[in-house]
Amino acid sequence: MRWTHWVNFPVLTIMIWSGMLIYWANDEYSITLFGHTYFRFFPDWFYKTLKIPFRLSEGMAFHFLFMWFFTLNGIFYVLYTIISGEWRELVPQKNSFKEAWQVLLHDLHIRKTAPPQNKYNAAQRIAYTAIIVMGIGSVITGLAVYKPVQFYYLTWLCGGYHFARILHFALTLGYVFFFLVHVFQVIMAGWGNFRSVISGFEVVNEPELVPAMQFSGDTDAPATAVELKAAAEKVDEPTEHPDEPVPADEPPLLATHQPELAHEKPTAPGTEAKLTGEEPAPHAETGTSSEELQSPNETPNDEKAG
């Protein structure tokens, strides 16, 4: 669908330009009352600025060549929308005309709330469907003007040669009006929307998520880059009591992690002093020495010897 859109743009531009070269040879549409012309669609300065005069044969050659590209591109577009099911997104719905008015008020900043939409809003549905109908009408009226005898049934269907030419001219003005509004809407939508029309996808900037780390907050959502930075700064801050002992709720070291402690046996008080030859220290709680801790039934060696 995107390819047909971009193919149709230059083809339709050439068709309108070559149609102006043809129209110059018989510029008869104006607003005339009592023999006085009040309005002409294309004044002389317009023709001279675009260098249109006296190029009828050139305009017919380009117009009759590119009309086939225009027709084939339109047929491919219609077939694609039917086969793929995209027509469901294009055809106006029951409330489309009511919502289209709300879209217009929103675009004019009169209404703040935007009406609901899926792929296309109500105004786009009506406009894009109307363009398809206008394309079919341009082909029918163009063939009626191009070969009015061979396609006499189309000429009769259009109300005759002159009315078919009026319809063909009115449809061309409709393309120009649609093009101006379409370009204005693209500009208002911004560069991101225009980029998505060209590439076929839209770039959306989302916050960076790190699923490997989570914080114990109100939710279990992954931490964002901002939260990680704040946590890193909090870890780097110095603590008020660097020598504070480890809390009691910390799990003890396993014996398998310290094998030299697993095979140690408790020693009686004073054993360590005997090995080193030093006087044992007083008891930590009562302040008594090891001699006072001896049993009263035991006597010193000197008494036994006497």
What is the average pLDDT value for the chain, to the nearest integer?
75
Both 61 and 120 in a single domain?
no
Give domain status of residue 152, yes or no. yes
Is the model's pLDDT at 196 over the cut of 80?
no
Whether 213 contacts 162, CB under 8 Å:
no
Give domain status of residue 259, yes or no. no
How far is CA 30 from each of CA 21, 172, 176, rounded to the nearest angstrom?
A: 17, 16, 18
The pLDDT of residue 44 is: 87
Give domain status of residue 282, yes or no. no
Task: Tell me the two tokens of residue 260.
Answer: 């030299």
C-alpha to C-alpha distance for 165 and 112, rounded to whole angstroms: 43
C-alpha to C-alpha distance for 67 and 80, rounded to whole angstroms: 20
List the CATH number of the domain containing 161. 1.20.950.20
Which residue segment(s) compose the domain that 182 sits in? Answer: 86-203
Both 102 and 190 in a single domain?
yes
Q: Which residues contact 171 (CB under 8 A, 6 or more apart)?
A: 134, 137, 138, 141
**Tens-digit pLDDT profile for residues 4-30:** 888 888 999 999 999 999 999 988 888
Give domain status of residue 287, yes or no. no
Instruction: Specify the amino acid at residue 149.
Output: V
Both 199 and 94 in a single domain?
yes
Of the candidates 187, 163, 183, the one whose C-alpha atom is nearest the C-alpha of residue 175 is 183
**CA 209, 211, 215: angle at the middle one, nearest 5?**
95
Both 56 and 141 in a single domain?
no
C-alpha to C-alpha distance for 291 and 282, rounded to whole angstroms: 10
Give domain status of residue 79, yes or no. no
Whether 23 contacts 52, CB under 8 Å:
no
- Angle in degrees, 0-180, between the axes of helices 191-199 and 161-189, rounded to the nearest 10: 120
Domain count, the chain: 2
pTM of the model: 0.60
Give domain status of residue 95, yes or no. yes
Quote the DSSP letter at residue 254.
P
Tracing tokens 């916050």 back to the chain, one arrives at 207
In this prediction, residue 31 has a pLDDT band, given cuts at 50, 70 and 90, of confident
**Tens-digit pLDDT profile for residues 106-162:** 877 788 877 777 778 888 889 889 999 999 999 999 999 999 999 999 999 999 999
Find the largest Cα–Cα distance for the chain.
166
Residues in the chain: 306
Give domain status of residue 299, yes or no. no
Whether 280 contacts 270, CB under 8 Å:
yes
Q: H-helix or E-strand containing 222?
A: strand 222-224
Of the candidates 66, 85, 78, 62, the one whose C-alpha atom is nearest the C-alpha of residue 136 is 78
